[in-house]
Structure 1
Amino acid sequence: MAPTIDMPQTVEWQGKQVPVWPCPTINYGQLLSQDPAELDKVLKACLEEGYFYLDLQNIDGRRMLDDQQETLKLMHRFFEAPIELKNEFGLISSHLGYEPVGSRTGAFGAGTKDGYEMLKVSRDEIQRGSPKVPQPIKNSGDLRVLENAIGSCNTISKVILSALSTGMGLTGAARFENSHRNDRPSTTTLSMMHYLPANETGAGKLGHQKHTDISSLTLLFSEQWGLQIRPPGTCGAREMGFVAPKPGCAFVHVGDSLRFASGMKMQSCIHRVVPFDPAEHRYSIAYFLRAEDDTMFQDSEGRYVTAGQWHDEKFKAFTDPWQWQAMAPKSMILGGMKEAGEDDAGELPAFVTSQPALPKEEMTKVAVHA
């Protein structure tokens, strides 16, 4: 049993005390054994909060923690390479390739761009055995690291799906894992993100905008502060607060597809990433488990859409300029999740407001970006 870690209730950020929201902790070994109490616990977490820590400090989960450390080493080598090598293929498809800093809207809304670069590796691509990855990590050792990380994440996320199916009393083809089969095409992706220091990205480029994920489940690994969530229900009337990094644990949260597949019973987690320490390099690894492309479900607008269609529509919304995002229904960026309170979007932190604003020509580029 992993030791209990007392998390702070608030943390100082940008000169004020910000909540650190509590999260239930699920034991992976007990989940793997289908322990009835742990099955109830994980189902309750997904129905009520939409997120939880997954404790991997046991014989069944330690392999994933080792894979995480090897992936971090790979990320450092890759992101330190020259931009022309990292961007050898560019963004091959929405779930495969490299995205440079400033490709999306930033954490603080209108006029800001994101402050991270990202390498995305498709599970289907790795499974085919001829992955399109840039030269800096195309050697056999690095490919094995990616294969191991994807394999571990896939196993863990399928165990969670199976537990949720059992908890909801689903049988046969209705079980969630039966729309996430390994041999069917999907946009399941391992994403590696490098958030740059504010003085390197330039004015108005920081963080990752508030959103819900396209995925069914997201497994997130980061040893650094920066992730913020907005709890659903009555807690949603309060401000966004931080998730404390918890050693030996992944942070797991429900995405839109699983919420839709559950008949809106589960909560899709509203979250964003902000610079906790604007001077640091921040690294995170996210595994987005997504349903088979032809899986059909009903979205929050009442439309019947496939998982592939939802992915493409929402990815386009992510990369649209903020002006277009503001005109789109919240059911797209926020997956239909309701917010009872006001966010602090648009309130730039002091270390950004002290810098020059985005130049007009850059704002124009944003406005006309398709």
Structure 2
Amino acid sequence: MAISTEVPQTREWNGKKVPVYPMEVIDFSKLLSQEPVEIERLVRACQDAGYFYLDLRGIDGRRMLEDQQDTLKLMYRFFDAPLEAKNEFGLVAPHLGYEPIGSRTGVLENTKDGYEMVKVSRDEIQKDSPHLPAVLKTSPDMKVLEHAIAGANIATKTILAALSTGLGLAGAARFENSHRNDRPSTSTLAMMHYIPSEPTAKNIGHQKHTDISSLTFLFAEQWGLQVRPPGSKEFGFVEPRDGMAVINVGDSLRFASGHTMQSCIHRVVPLDPTEHRYSIAYFLRAENETMFTDSEGRYITAGQWHDEKFFAFTSPPELQALAPSSMILGGMTEEDAEAEEIGTKDAPSPIVGATNLKETVQVY
């Protein structure tokens, strides 16, 4: 193999140069056509890194890009509304409702998160009268949400089908057969608003984690997302690219693949401390009753994994330490360099026997 002469790209953050990691680009139109070479590249990206760009600039993906812009306009209006209006119902369920700033742990030690979020589940949006704040319940806004969820669902199901084909799966063993549209799941559209913050702020970013999803379909036009590739000792930025979504493998697909796929470790930091940052994520999740073996060797349902990990997310660090050691990072391993970087090397050791965080943590 020839030695690369390309100079690695970096961005300045928190007083040091941080790498910008390269990512594979997968063409959505070629996946729709089930082109063997593209499917092979997709499987390799999910097994080696756990994330990639999905190129939507062809005619088959342009509608999703339009839906993204319509959703952003809706988000600007929603997040500018008074807190009482946004939080009309609060968090109805872990995958439905509003979470104010500071509901979770922040990206650096002794901080809380720096974003607010509203979640609309796929199951809920199909009801005659979905449980949503009044400021989102206008007919035009409902249509925007329906389109965004439907498009993301189609894209992620296309990826699942291509992965099944690439791995030679057939019949009930195919991944998409545990993600049927008519079965209850916690699949949801999450719209996030990150407030301006310096690295020294008390509310900053989104803590390192892997996603509860099978696949995450993300639009983010602004810098801030960082990933930590398998085997890497540091986080690096993901470059926002026009016409592309960022896709990452989540815990459920990692488990369903027999732990052969990588669940992407990532976080969000404020690259520009003066800007408001917005991102749109669709979390495709397996049917609630789907069974898999997690990283602790437990044979559990997708619904149980979702609930336990959600409560870990919303718990303070001392209670997160009571969860299984694999909970926040989905069983993915890290090098010590990261613990030293954010000052968590001396955090309390997890209690591996605490397998159900819901028994320990109050419901938020």
Is the structural similarity TM-score above 0.5?
A: yes
2:352 counterpart residue number? none
Please list every run of at least 4 consecutive aligned residues from structure 1 whose deviation after the TM superposition is greater than 6 angstroms.
none
SS at match of 1:330: coil
Deviation at 1:290, TM superposition (A): 0.1
- The residue that corresponds to 1:84 in the other structure is 84
Tell me the SS of whatever aligns to 2:321: helix
1:61 aligns with 2:53: no
Quote the Cα distance in structure 1 between the aligned partners of 2:113 and 2:343.
14
Contiguous gaps of at least 5 residues in structure 1: 1-5, 348-367
**TM-aligned CA distance change 1:223 to 1:155, over 3 Å:** same
Deviations 1:81-128 (CA, angstroms, capped at 9, x unpaired): 00000000000000000000000000013x210000000000000122
Matched, 1:207 2:205: yes
The Cα offsets for residues 160-204 of structure 1, whole Å up to 9 and x where unpaired, read as 0000000000000000000000000000000000001127x9941
For residues 36 and 7 of structure 1, do their structure 2 counterparts lie closer, same or farther at Cα, with a shift above 3 Å needed?
farther
Q: CA RMSD in A?
A: 1.8
Partners of 1:94 and 1:259 in 2: CA distance: 21
Cα deviation, residue 329, structure 1: 3.2
Q: Shift of residue 326 of structure 1?
A: 3.1
| 1:301 Cα deviation from its structure 2 partner | 0.6
Q: Which residue of 2 aligns with 1:114?
A: 113
Matches within 5 A, 1:1-370: 9-109=9-109, 111-198=110-197, 203-232=201-230, 234=231, 236=232, 238-343=233-338, 344-346=341-343
Letter in 2 for 1:63: R
* Count of residues in correspondence between the two structures: 341
Separation of aligned partners in 1, 2:152 and 2:207: 24
1:317-336 CA distance string (max 9 Å, x none): 00111111134333000001
Q: Note the alpha carbon deviations across 1:259-297, whole angstroms, 9 max, x for none.
A: 000000000000000111111100000000000000000
Where 1:194 maps in the other structure, the secondary structure is: strand
Kept in 2: contact 1:321–1:369 (CA 8 A): no
Counterpart Cα distance in 1 of 2:265 and 2:185: 23
Structure 2: give runs of 5+ residues left out of the alignment.
1-5, 345-360
Residue type at the aligned position of 1:96? L
In 2: Cα distance, 1:53 partner to 1:181 partner: 25
1:216–1:255 CA contact under 8 A, matched in 2: yes
Amino acid of the structure 2 residue aligned with 1:78: F
Structure 1 residue 129, shift from structure 2 partner: 3.1
* Residues 8 and 136 of structure 1: CA distance in aligned 2, closer, same or farther (over 3 Å): farther
What residue number does 1:361 align with? Answer: none
The structure whose residues are more often helix, as a share, is 1
Q: How far, CA to CA, are the matches of 2:7 and 2:279 in structure 1?
A: 20
AA in 2 matched with 1:272: R
Q: 1:369 offset after TM fit, Å?
A: 6.8
TM-score, length basis structure 2: 0.91
Q: Which residue identity is paired with 2:342? A: A
Q: State the identity as a percent.
A: 67
For residue 342 of structure 1, give the secondary structure of its aligned residue in structure 2. helix
What TM-score does the superposition give when structure 1 sets the normalisation length? 0.89
2:296–2:324 contact (8 Å) kept in structure 1 = no
- Offset, 1:14: 2.1
Are 1:7 and 1:22, in contact at CA under 8 Å, matched by a contact in 2?
no
CA displacement at 1:341 relative to structure 2: 3.8
- 2:39 and 2:163 in contact (8 A); partners too: yes
